Amino acid sequence: MSDKIIKVGISQGDINGISYELIIKTFEDVRIFEFCIPVLYGSSKVLAYHRKAMGLPSVNVNTIHHAGEAGINRLNIVNCGNEEVVVDFSKPSPESESMAQRAMQKALSDLKAGTIDVLVLAPSNVDETQYLSQQSGNAPLKILVHNNFRMALASGKIPLSDVSSQLTMDLLVDKIKSLHASLIHDFMVTLPRIAVLSFNPGMGIKERKEGREETEIIVPAIKTASESGITCFGPYSGDDFFANYDYTKFDAILAIYYDQGLIPFRSVSSDEGACYFAGLPFVVTAPDHGVGYDKAGKNESSEVSFRNAVYLAIDVFKTRKLDGEIYANPLKKQYFEKGSDNEKLDLTKDEE
């Protein structure tokens, strides 16, 4: 890999949604090639169809057989799947979902092999968190990012009625620790401050009221995390916490369930946020929105969130590299030999 420019893998997403529109609009601006070598796992024919159907600007495209052939100043495409597929805007289909999965599988395989440096997932109906967990063996923590506003999600897209039964103290402690580690090593926050939201409305430390989930799970989890050295506060009632801008006082917030985090985040980020999947041995990001069938084929979608996902992947990759260099050769502890008039400093001894 080049030390100067990062190779960014892009999984095509759902061909019947807005993913190709976002990709074309992002890479029509040639300035982005100064920061990365993009490798799209998808279809050159599908890209050409989307561009022609919506009258989008042309993009410098290079069709290659594998990521190792990728060149600079162009959008490199590794063709994945059926080249005779028919694009049907706004309509999900088993074939479009299968193509999205094949592209993700190929891109993730290259990411593991080091052929690409980072991976950006274009919108699809595939549950990215579950898929990454199955493929990597690690359960990633989804963190929504917009500038310095970071919202982590303790649970995924599950019915609200199931959240309480699946929420445990051990799970919550693991999420807090994963968030804390990511803030330090992925975002270079030296002493992270984390806020945890309550589960029940109107419950929290400010209200001085707690429901069953707060008493039995959330408060003990915060205490356990704090005792391990993590600066962690809460639980906070979501309405008061965001209405009074308390979220600006923390480096990250952990929401207990999906909508509790998504609604305030998207209100603040104005559809410009990106998703980062923390806790993996590699860097994976995605835009913070869905497939967008209602806008598919209409040239009405903004590429800002997707572009920010590309930049986020690049930033985290660079931060991880710097973090690894910082901690690569730690100084040995200093030992003193006592018992004589002169104390001698010995830096040659290994730690016991």
SS3 assignment, position 323 = helix
Residues 31 and 89 in one domain: yes
- How far, in Å, CA of 314 to CA of 311, rounded? 5
In this predicted structure, the answer to whether residue 347 has a pLDDT above a threshold of 70 is no
Residues 249 and 315 in one domain: no
352 belongs to a structural domain: no
Worst-scoring range by mean pLDDT, 39-43, 127-131, 307-311? Answer: 127-131
SS3 assignment, position 54 = helix
In this predicted structure, the answer to whether residue 339 has a pLDDT above a threshold of 70 is no
In this predicted structure, the answer to whether residue 61 has a pLDDT above a threshold of 90 is yes
pLDDT at residue 333, rounded to an integer: 58
Residues 129 and 154 in one domain: no
pLDDT at residue 21, rounded to an integer: 98
Worst-scoring range by mean pLDDT, 47-51, 63-67, 114-118, 338-342? Answer: 338-342
Chosen domain end from 270, 291, 316: 270
- How far, in Å, CA of 193 to CA of 208, rounded? 21
pLDDT at residue 188, rounded to an integer: 96
Residues 122 and 105 in one domain: yes
* Average pLDDT score over residue span 269-273: 93
Higher pLDDT, 67 or 202: 67
pLDDT at residue 85, rounded to an integer: 84
Q: What is the CATH number of the domain that holds 319?
A: 3.40.718.10
Answering whether pTM is above 0.85, one says yes
Higher pLDDT, 66 or 210: 66
Q: Give a three-class secondary structure readout of 80-92.
A: CCCCCCCCCCCCC
* Average pLDDT score over residue span 214-228: 97
- Residue 2 confidence class, pLDDT cut points 50, 70, 90: very low
Residues 292 and 266 in one domain: no
347 belongs to a structural domain: no
pLDDT tens digits, residue range 157-208? 889 889 999 999 999 999 999 999 999 999 999 999 999 999 998 888 887 8
pLDDT at residue 1, rounded to an integer: 42
Residues 7 and 104 in one domain: yes
Residues 156 and 126 in one domain: no
Residues 86 and 168 in one domain: no
Residues 260 and 301 in one domain: no
In this predicted structure, the answer to whether residue 342 has a pLDDT above a threshold of 60 is no
In this predicted structure, the answer to whether residue 344 has a pLDDT above a threshold of 60 is no
pLDDT at residue 202, rounded to an integer: 87
Residues 198 and 80 in one domain: no
Q: How many domains does the chain have?
A: 2
In this predicted structure, the answer to whether residue 268 has a pLDDT above a threshold of 90 is yes
Higher pLDDT, 130 or 117: 117
266 belongs to a structural domain: yes
- How far, in Å, CA of 125 to CA of 17, rounded? 10
pLDDT at residue 295, rounded to an integer: 96
Residues 103 and 168 in one domain: no
Q: Which residues, 6+ apart, have CB-to-CB distance to 274 below 8 Å?
A: 144, 145, 146, 285, 286, 287, 288, 305, 308, 309, 311, 312
